[in-house]
Amino acid sequence: PSPGLGFHSERPAGGSACALEPAVLLTPVPLVSDQEHLDEEINNLRKELRVKVNRLFEAQGKAELKGFNLNPMTAEEMKLINRILEG
């Protein structure tokens, strides 16, 4: 596995860069918790954006955008929709 595929490299404790030293160890990175954290941040930004856009439109005297308050479907909802569509 390469560093770009969910692993990061660490040298053994006290290890040096000498070619005769043991190989670099590969350890898994906690990708699931990182993804959950990023999903939460994205959702918070979407909520804040909705509020800001509504304030802007109100200040400009424009009507609120229709359909802007939609939420993306969850993975579970998508699986159910795909099952229904497949028959």
* Confidence at residue 4, expressed as pLDDT on a 0 to 100 scale: 47
Residues 21-42 have pLDDT tens digits of 555 556 566 788 888 899 999 9
Residue 73 lies in a domain: no
Residue 48 lies in a domain: yes
Residues 9-18 have pLDDT tens digits of 555 555 555 5
* Confidence at residue 1, expressed as pLDDT on a 0 to 100 scale: 44
Output the pTM of the full model: 0.46
Q: How many domains does the chain have?
A: 1
Is beta strand 25-28 parallel, antiparallel or unpaired with respect to 7-10? antiparallel
User: Which two tokens mark 50?
Assistant: 């909705």
Q: State which residues form the domain around 52.
A: 29-63
Residues 66-87 have pLDDT tens digits of 777 777 788 999 999 999 999 7
Compute the half-sphere exposure of residue 59: CA atoms within 13 Å on the CB side of its CA. Answer: 6
Residue 3 lies in a domain: no
